[in-house]
Amino acid sequence: MATERQARLADRIRVLIAQRLEKGLRDPRLGFVTITDVRVTGDLQHASVFYTVLGDEKARNDTADALRAATGMLRSEVGRGLGVRLTPTLEFIADAIPENAGHIEDLLREAAERDAAVAGLAVGAAYAGDADPYQKPREYDDVQ
Sheet (strand 89-94) strand order: 32-40, 46-54, 89-94
Domain residue ranges of the chain, discontinuous segments joined by +: 4-96
pTM score > 0.95 for this model? no
pLDDT digits (tens, 9 = 90+) for 126-139: 777 777 778 777 77
Q: Please give the pLDDT value at position 56.
A: 81
User: How far is the first Cα of the chain from the last one, in angstroms, to the nearest whole number?
Assistant: 77
**Domain spanning 4-96 has what CATH number?**
3.30.300.20
- The helix or strand, by DSSP H or E, that contains position 100, with its residue range, turns out to be helix 97-123
pLDDT digits (tens, 9 = 90+) for 15-63: 998 888 888 777 777 778 888 889 999 888 899 999 888 878 888 888 8
